[in-house]
Structure 1
């Protein structure tokens, strides 16, 4: 298939404008449509969801104490930690489903972050 050519011809005697579209090259065979099968639907079982929640919680907490983590990522992680939203992968749901008390884990995390910030400011 070649690019679309658009030619405008203006007929001065009756002031008409004609639009000509050359979409297919006359010597190029037209390809027929191909049927592409859908990818199989991914089924999540409870253990996979639990693993994902655990990974999200651990990686988020790790990013908060890692000095190499950027400010935007830390801000996003802190907002997630401080949120009381109830969504499938919110902090509260991840903690509850993994057997942690969200308030206790939040307090311990904030205590640890304050301690780390105090140490780095004294250095």
Structure 2
């Protein structure tokens, strides 16, 4: 390959400066793009979503009654239980999709938790 010479004349104190640029440079083979396959998209069936909702509801109710659960876990579980948000895995949607009345289950859960707290405070 040829080098292209570019002469730059700069008159600083009567000095001439020459710059040589090799714009064609050494030959480098063209790199091809590597194809990275995507992982297949996970498809959730209705039965799998129902099982997940049931597990979420049961585990959350258990954590509220479990004396070993930490304060942060209980606070998060109680916030979820008391929320009226409508999201795919909100308390209201989980209850409704599983055939429970959210208000009734909420009231019964609070009643049971009250009784458990009363029993643990009065041995």
Instruction: Give the TM-score, by structure 2 length.
Output: 0.73
1:27 deviates by: 17
Give the corresponding residue for 1:53. 53
User: Structure 1 residues 34 and 78, CA, compared in 2 at 3 Å: closer, same or farther?
Assistant: same
Taking a change above 3 Å as real, the CA distance of residues 27 and 102 of structure 1, as seen in their structure-2 partners, is same
Q: Which has the larger radius of gyration?
A: 2
Structure 1 residues 102 and 30 mapped into 2: Cα distance closer, same or farther (>3 Å)? same
Q: Deviation digits for residues 101-120 of structure 1, max 9, x if unmatched?
A: 00000000000000000000
SS at match of 2:43: coil
Aligned residues: 123
- Stretches of structure 1 lacking an aligned partner (at least 5 in a row): none
Provide the residue aligned with 1:69 in structure 2.
69
Q: Distance in 1 between matches of 2:3 and 2:116?
A: 61
Detail structure 1 runs of 4+ shifted over 2 Å in the superposition.
1-36
Larger strand share, 1 or 2: 1
Alpha-carbon distance, 1:35 to partner: 3.2
CA contact (8 A) 1:4 1:22 kept: yes
1:1-50, Cα deviation, whole Å (9 max, x unpaired): 99999999999999999999999999999998643311100001110111
User: Structure 2: 5+ residue runs without aligned partners?
Assistant: none
* Kept in 2: contact 1:6–1:22 (CA 8 A): no
Quote the offset at 1:72 in angstroms.
Answer: 0.3
